[in-house]
């Protein structure tokens, strides 16, 4: 066996003891556990790129506001299901300031993370019309959303958008939508895991087809404003976060506070329904909800059933964050820009050592540097590469669990990598490259 940065016997033993039949196919949480165990047994710290968690301090203004709210006694009181008025006002303002779309505060609803926002959107969006009950994933995507559909007993279709960018997207989407059973389309933008960002032309195609085929777009903005190629930091000024909302009324926006405001632990996100969709009546909703009005079914049907609203103090925290952002006191984009800078550095190190980028272009523009990037190594499948990199103290996840057809690829997340670890990454990858010469 070749010498590797982490003792190979330890890695081998721990993989065996994990009972995982195929490390490369492990879920993110299974990999986290395995890497924790190898770290403890070897005494070596890994370059951890498997989990997409924020690596920054939470937005301070939110924490302070939550403490004040808790001291004032909100913990003993149920919050309004559709959110406290102060938060609803700030969400609506935020959407205007940073996306430039007008949504009534009535339809700006806090949820228990975007995770719950997605679940609620499926619960209502896929039940508006008998026989039209599936979700189309414009993949690659976030695996848990497919799990949500499986848990709900709902069907889905999926395709990897890699080969259908730009002008090719329309025909591909129509091949699914024309069958008539797709109720919702979901994608994240910027995309987890690939970090592609749809162009205006692509968003226009998605929006126009959503209108044509009466389909609801669930636009997952978990990485809001993190296309760092543009400066999206100024409230009320262009450029704005790109969105399908400019091209259709059939949309729900899921805006997570986990990454943009480093607020993942508080489990609060925003579900924003277009005014037109929220007011729309769908008689078939009556099969499941007391009302056939979309917005009403969302709040008093879905969100009520799931959790009866969102943590009271977290709502005060998010309201304070958004207030500071809306009035220009807190530049949240600047606070997360470090992810982009780190990605640029890390990508360069991977490329120098024989790795390749898998998803690399938004049509004619190189991808932005952000929270994730995707890599491959000649001669390795993604699953084999995951396993091999463990011997080199580097962890990531395989794209094969994300609906990507690029099964040679891995997703690398930059958020947990510390500045001091960059030279270690460089050394480890150089050793990997030396031990696996590219012919």
Ligand X SMILES: Cc1ncc(COP(=O)(O)O)c(C=O)c1O
| Binding residues for ligand X (CB under 6 A) | 52, 113-115, 142, 188, 192, 220, 222, 256, 258, 264, 269
| 189 neighbors 242 (Cβ within 8 angstroms) | yes
Number of alpha carbons in the 13 Å side-chain half-sphere of residue 292: 8
| 256 neighbors 272 (Cβ within 8 angstroms) | no
Question: Which of residues 107 and 263 has its CB atom nearest to ligand X in the complex?
Answer: 263
Cα–Cα distance between 164 and 259 in angstroms, integer? 28
Question: Which of residues 119 and 245 has its CB atom nearest to ligand X in the complex?
Answer: 119
- Min separation Cβ 392 and ligand X, Å: 25
Question: Which of residues 114 and 126 has its CB atom nearest to ligand X in the complex?
Answer: 114
Distances in Å between the Cα of 208 and the Cα atoms of 131, 217, 224 are 22, 11, 23
Q: What is the DSSP string of 192-239?
A: TTT-----HHHHHHHHHHHHHTT-EEEEEETTTT--TTS---STT-SS
- Min separation Cβ 9 and ligand X, Å: 34
Q: What backbone torsions phi and psi does residue 153 show, to the nearest 5 degrees?
A: 75, 25
Question: Which of residues 92 and 114 has its CB atom nearest to ligand X in the complex?
Answer: 114
- Min separation Cβ 253 and ligand X, Å: 12
- Min separation Cβ 192 and ligand X, Å: 4
- Min separation Cβ 174 and ligand X, Å: 25
Query: C-alpha dihedral over 363, 365, 366, 371, to 10 degrees?
Result: -80
Q: Which residue is nearest to ligand X (CB)?
A: 113
- Min separation Cβ 42 and ligand X, Å: 28
Q: How far is CA 284 from the centre of its chain?
A: 30
Count of CB atoms situated within 10 Å of the CB of 25: 15
- Min separation Cβ 193 and ligand X, Å: 8
What does the radius of gyration of the chain's CA atoms come to, in whole angstroms? 22
Cα–Cα distance between 356 and 191 in angstroms, integer? 19
For 1, the token pair is 């066996």
Question: Which of residues 97 and 192 has its CB atom nearest to ligand X in the complex?
Answer: 192
| 37 neighbors 11 (Cβ within 8 angstroms) | no
Strand, coil or helix: what is 259? coil
- State which H helix or E strand residue 10 sits in: helix 8-18
- Min separation Cβ 300 and ligand X, Å: 22
For residue 143, count CB atoms less than 10 angstroms from its CB and return exposed for 0-12, middle for 13-18, buried for 19 or more.
middle
Question: Which of residues 126 and 258 has its CB atom nearest to ligand X in the complex?
Answer: 258
- Min separation Cβ 286 and ligand X, Å: 29
Question: Which of residues 156 and 377 has its CB atom nearest to ligand X in the complex?
Answer: 156
Distances in Å between the Cα of 321 and the Cα atoms of 87, 88, 226, 324 are 10, 13, 17, 5
Question: Which of residues 115 and 278 has its CB atom nearest to ligand X in the complex?
Answer: 115
- Min separation Cβ 316 and ligand X, Å: 17
Question: Which of residues 86 and 264 has its CB atom nearest to ligand X in the complex?
Answer: 264
Tell me, what DSSP letter sits at residue 52? -
Question: Which of residues 224 and 316 has its CB atom nearest to ligand X in the complex?
Answer: 224
């Amino acid at each position: 066996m070749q010498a590797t940065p982490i003792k190979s016997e330890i890695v081998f033993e721990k993989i065996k003891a994990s009972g995982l039949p195929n490390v490369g196919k492990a879920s993110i949480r299974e990999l986290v556990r395995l890497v924790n165990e190898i770290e403890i047994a070897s005494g070596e710290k890994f370059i951890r790129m498997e989990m997409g968690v924020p690596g920054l301090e939470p937005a301070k203004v939110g924490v302070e506001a939550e403490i004040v709210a808790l001291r004032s006694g909100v913990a003993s009181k149920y919050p309004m299901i559709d959110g406290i008025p102060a938060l609803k006002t700030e969400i609506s303002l935020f959407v205007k300031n940073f996306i430039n779309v007008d949504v009534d505060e009535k339809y700006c609803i806090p949820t228990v993370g975007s995770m719950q926002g997605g679940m609620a959107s499926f619960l209502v969006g896929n039940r508006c019309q008998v026989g039209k009950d599936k979700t189309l994933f414009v993949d690659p995507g976030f695996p848990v959303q497919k799990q949500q559909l499986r848990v709900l007993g709902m069907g889905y279709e999926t395709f990897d958008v890699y080969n259908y960018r730009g002008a090719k997207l329309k025909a591909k989407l129509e091949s699914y939508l024309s069958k008539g059973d797709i109720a919702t389309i979901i994608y994240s933008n910027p995309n987890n895991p690939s970090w592609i960002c749809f162009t205006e032309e692509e968003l226009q195609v998605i929006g126009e087809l959503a209108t044509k085929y009466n389909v609801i777009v669930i636009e997952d903005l978990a990485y809001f404003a993190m296309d760092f190629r543009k400066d999206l930091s100024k409230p009320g000024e262009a450029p704005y976060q790109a969105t399908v909302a400019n091209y259709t009324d059939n949309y729900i926006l899921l805006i997570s506070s986990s990454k943009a405001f480093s607020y993942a632990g508080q489990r609060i996100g925003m579900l924003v329904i277009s005014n037109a969709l929220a007011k729309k009546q769908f008689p078939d909703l009556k099969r499941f909800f007391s009302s056939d009005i979309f917005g009403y079914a969302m709040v008093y049907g879905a969100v009520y059933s799931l959790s009866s609203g969102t943590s009271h103090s977290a709502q005060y925290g998010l309201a304070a964050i958004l207030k500071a952002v809306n009035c220009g006191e807190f530049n949240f984009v600047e606070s997360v820009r470090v992810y982009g800078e780190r990605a640029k550095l890390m990508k360069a190190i991977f490329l120098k050592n024989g790795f390749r980028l898998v998803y690399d272009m938004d049509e004619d523009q190189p991808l932005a540097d952000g929270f994730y990037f995707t890599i491959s190594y000649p001669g390795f499948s993604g699953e084999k590469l995951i396993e091999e990199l463990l011997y080199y103290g580097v962890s990531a996840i395989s794209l094969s669990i994300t609906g990507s057809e690029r099964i040679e690829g891995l997703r690398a997340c930059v958020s947990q990598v510390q500045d001091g670890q960059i030279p270690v990454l460089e050394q480890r990858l150089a050793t990997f490259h030396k031990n696996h010469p590219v012919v």
